[in-house]
Chain A
Amino acid sequence: MGTSLPARRRLARRRLERTGDTLYRDALAAFGMSVAAALGIVAAESAKLAAPALRRFGIAFVGSTQWDPTADRFGALPFLAGTVLTSAEALALALPVGLGAAIFLSEMAPARLRAMVRFPIEMLAAIPSVIVGLWGLFVLAPIMRTRVEPLLARTGLPILSGTPVGVGLLAAGVVLAVMVLPTLTSLSLDVVGAVDRAQREGLYALGATRWEVIRRGVLPAAKSGLFGATVLALGRALGETMAVAMVVGNSPDMPHSLLATGGTLASVIANEFTEAVSDLHEAALAELGLVLLALTLLLSIGGRLLLRRSVR
């Protein structure tokens, strides 16, 4: 006895569905792999372009403080330092403001204010970086030169010493802070807002004040998400090019102070690539790109590892 017709039809349909599932899964896998492939291709192409510099300087490139295109001497350290210093400054400035704004909007502000403020915050993230750079150059830099930097120089700290010139690492850090602030605030607001209401109520019911609910309930629960938001913001700061190139001062010297002019990995590539004086110069710029890529990768991998440990 064979199986009945409807049963056979059902089987055929099941088989078709299985084929569909397989196709779907393979297509998604291909999309997933293409992301990793894109990263690989970027790294390989940069390495090819950087080959002459890689052969000539090797790993010493990263530790060398010399950047002199006319003498064919190239080292990444001044720009690596500039990148790290400006990004760290940007985070130091933006984190308290962004987190504070997110906590205020989520925990204290009335819902209507939260909705009203949200839109402009997200608009702020859409301002082209060249516009922020112009603001940095024409509005921020003069203020830095005449008011902020003389004040900071008076502290006598080596990191804040030097002649106030307005443009420089300090101004670049402020510009970066302005640029990462909207992303940081908006992501933090999402993360803080996503904390389960039951967590807040559990603490309120124990007789916690609003501040205690935020500190003992909301922040611990949001910790990993806030960390993720910070890593994303840092990633943006590390790679930001145009606005930084406009205010950082573009000097290839090893920065001795935040008040000094300098450059970042991204800004020097943008500034010099079209005017590279030699093949080696071009290759060295490509190698700077590799260093930046490695820095961002290291950061996100490190961030993830830290995150995994903190989440337990």
Chain B
Amino acid sequence: MTAPSRPVVGVAALSAGFGDRTALRDVSLALEAHAVTAIIGPSGCGKSTLLRCLNRMHELGAGAWVRGRVTLDGDDLYGPDVDAVQVRRRIGMVFQRPNPFPTLSIRDNVAAGLDLNGFARAERDDRVEAALKQAALWNEVADRLNRSALALSGGQQQRLCIARALAVEPEVLLMDEPASALDPIATARVEELIHELKDRLTLIVVTHNMQQAARISTRTAFLYMGELVEYDRTEALFTNPKERRTEDYVTGKFG
């Protein structure tokens, strides 16, 4: 496996699970800055758990435990004086099912993270506009920012959630199957967006769709039964896998 040139997120000997169940076993990898890393693997392989360990969302579940190290720009995210809330402000997240806040307008949805930090009115509007533009949603909603977020289509809602995550200017954006609940056209728009966003930040995308991983990512990690089987440049992993299990999975023999 070739090491990434500019690692930003480091994972070392990470294990995690719930109660006596282990979902992730001794995973180590370095994730490249300003790139898209895809995490693939069959259902239950631990890919979502890995993602949720990176912004300390995993520990919110009942009985959740984590061992090992995660670093962001060298800072230990699980250090004794590190507040999980601060970690989540540096590492944003987008979920499988679009989850806009139903009682808030489009504008207030995007500003939700800003409001937690108490931004001034003027700056707030500017950042809402900037985030919506980055999420390629501005042209569709500019004339109805005060309308309910639920009036948007599923694909628009997902881009709204991306805008919401971008508004607080995170260094890393985690995406957990961001397009699996969307139709093909909306999926294409989200993939396009992922391409554009990697100039600004580091993206880590969990997907069960191998074609999608191949299209969007520069590097791919293949997880199987909680273990990291192979991690390489996407092209190499798909065309010339070194591990038998990777080859079987990417050629569709199981999964």
Chain A residues proximal to chain B, CB less than 8 Å: 110-111, 196, 198-199, 201-209, 212, 216-217, 220-221, 223, 312
Q: A111 is contacted by which of B62, B115, B161 (Cβ under 8 Å)? A: B62
Inter-chain CA distance A223–B104, complex, in Å, is 13
Q: Which one of B85-93, B124-132, B205-213 is at the A interface?
A: B85-93
Contact A204 B99 (CB under 8 A): no
The CA-CA distance from A220 to B108 in the complex, in Å, is: 13
Q: Which residues of B contact A217 (CB under 8 A)?
A: 101
B95–A202 touching, CB < 8 Å: yes
Q: Is the CB of B112 within 8 A of A201?
A: no
Q: Beyond A206-B113, A208-B116, A221-B102: 14 further Cβ-contacts under 8 Å? A: A198-B97, A198-B99, A199-B99, A201-B57, A201-B99, A202-B164, A206-B92, A206-B164, A207-B89, A207-B113, A212-B116, A216-B115, A221-B101, A312-B148
Chain B residues whose CB sits within 8 angstroms of the CB of A204 once the complex forms: 57, 60, 88
A-B contact pairs, 20 of them (CB 8 A): A196-B99, A198-B95, A202-B100, A202-B101, A202-B112, A205-B57, A205-B95, A206-B92, A206-B112, A206-B113, A206-B116, A206-B168, A207-B88, A207-B113, A216-B101, A216-B116, A217-B101, A220-B101, A221-B103, A223-B103
Contact A206 B95 (CB under 8 A): no
Q: How many residues of B contact A (CB 8 A)?
A: 28
Q: In the bound complex, what is the Cα–Cα distance between A204 and B86 (angstroms)?
A: 11
C-alpha spacing A201/B57, complex, angstroms: 8
Q: A residues within 8 A CB of B93?
A: 201, 205
Interface string of B132-162 (1 = CB under 8 A from A): 0000000000000000100000000000010
CA gap between A203 and B114 in the complex, in Å: 11
Enumerate chain A residues within 8 angstroms of B117, measured Cβ to Cβ. 207
**Inside 8 A of B70's CB, which chain A residues have their CB?**
none
Q: How far is the CB of A12 from chain B (nearest CB, A)?
A: 42
- Distance of A198 Cα from B164 Cα, bound (Å): 14
B contacts, CB < 8 Å to A? 55, 57, 60, 62, 85-86, 88-89, 92-93, 95, 97, 99-104, 112-113, 115-117, 148, 161, 164-165, 168
**How far apart are B100's CB and chain A's nearest CB, in angstroms?**
8
Contact, CB under 8 Å: B116 / A207: yes
* Most B C-beta atoms less than 10 A away, residue of A196, A204, A206, A209: A206
Partner of A205, one of B100, B103, B115, B165: B165
Q: Distance in Å from the Cβ of A120 to the closest Cβ of chain B?
A: 22
Inter-subunit contact A199/B168 (CB<8 Å): no
Interface centre among A196, A202, A205, A216 (most CB of B within 10 A): A205
Which chain B residues border A198 with CB–CB below 8 Å? 95, 97, 99
**CB–CB B86/A207 < 8 A:** yes
| 3 nearest CB pairs, A to B | A207-B89, A206-B113, A205-B93
Return chain A residues, CB-CB under 8 Å to B99. Answer: 196, 198-199, 201-202
For B62, the chain A residues whose CB sits under 8 A away are 110-111
CA A210 to CA B99, docked complex, whole Å: 18
* Contact partners of A212 in chain B: CB under 8 A: 116
Q: How far is the CB of A295 from chain B (nearest CB, A)?
A: 31
Q: How far is it, in angstroms, between the C-alpha of A212 and the C-alpha of B113 when the chains are bound?
A: 11
Inter-chain contacts of A110 with B (CB < 8 A): 62
Let me know if B85 and A208 touch, CB within 8 A.
yes
Instruction: Point out the residues of chain A lying under 8 angstroms from B103, CB to CB.
Output: 220-221, 223
Closest to B99 in A: A198
Contact A199 B116 (CB under 8 A): no
In the assembled complex, the CB of B114 is this many whole angstroms from the nearest CB of chain A, namely 9
Q: How far is the CB of A228 from chain B (nearest CB, A)?
A: 16
The CA of A312 and the CA of B104, in the complex, are separated in Å by 11
B207 to chain A, nearest CB (A): 18
Residues of A within 8 A of B115 (CB): 216
Query: Do A205 and B116 touch (CB < 8 A)?
Result: no
Q: Which residue of A lies closest to B86 (CB)?
A: A207
Instruction: Decide: A207 and B85 in contact? CB cutoff 8 A.
Output: yes
Q: Given the complex of chains A and B, what is the CA–CA distance between A209 and B60 in angstroms?
A: 12
Of the candidates B57, B102, B165, the one having the most CB atoms from chain A within 10 angstroms of its own CB is B102
Complex-state Cα separation, A198 to B181, whole angstroms: 14
> Cα distance A312–B103 when bound, in Å?
9
Please report the C-alpha to C-alpha distance between residue A201 and residue B55 in the assembled complex, in whole angstroms.
12
Closest to B104 in A: A220
Of all chain A residues, the one with the shortest Cβ separation from B112 is: A206
Residues of A within 8 A of B85 (CB): 207-209
B8 to chain A, nearest CB (A): 19
CB-CB under 8 A from A207, the residues of chain B are 85-86, 88-89, 113, 116-117, 168
| A105, B157: Cα distance in complex, Å | 31
Please name all residues of chain B whose beta carbon is closer than 8 Å to the beta carbon of A111 when the two chains form the complex: 62
- In angstroms, how far is the closest chain B Cβ from the Cβ of A284? 47
A142 to chain B, nearest CB (A): 45
Residue of B nearest to A196 (CB): B99
Instruction: State the CA gap A216–B101 with chains docked (Å).
Output: 9
When C-beta atoms are compared, the residue in chain A nearest to B62 turns out to be A111
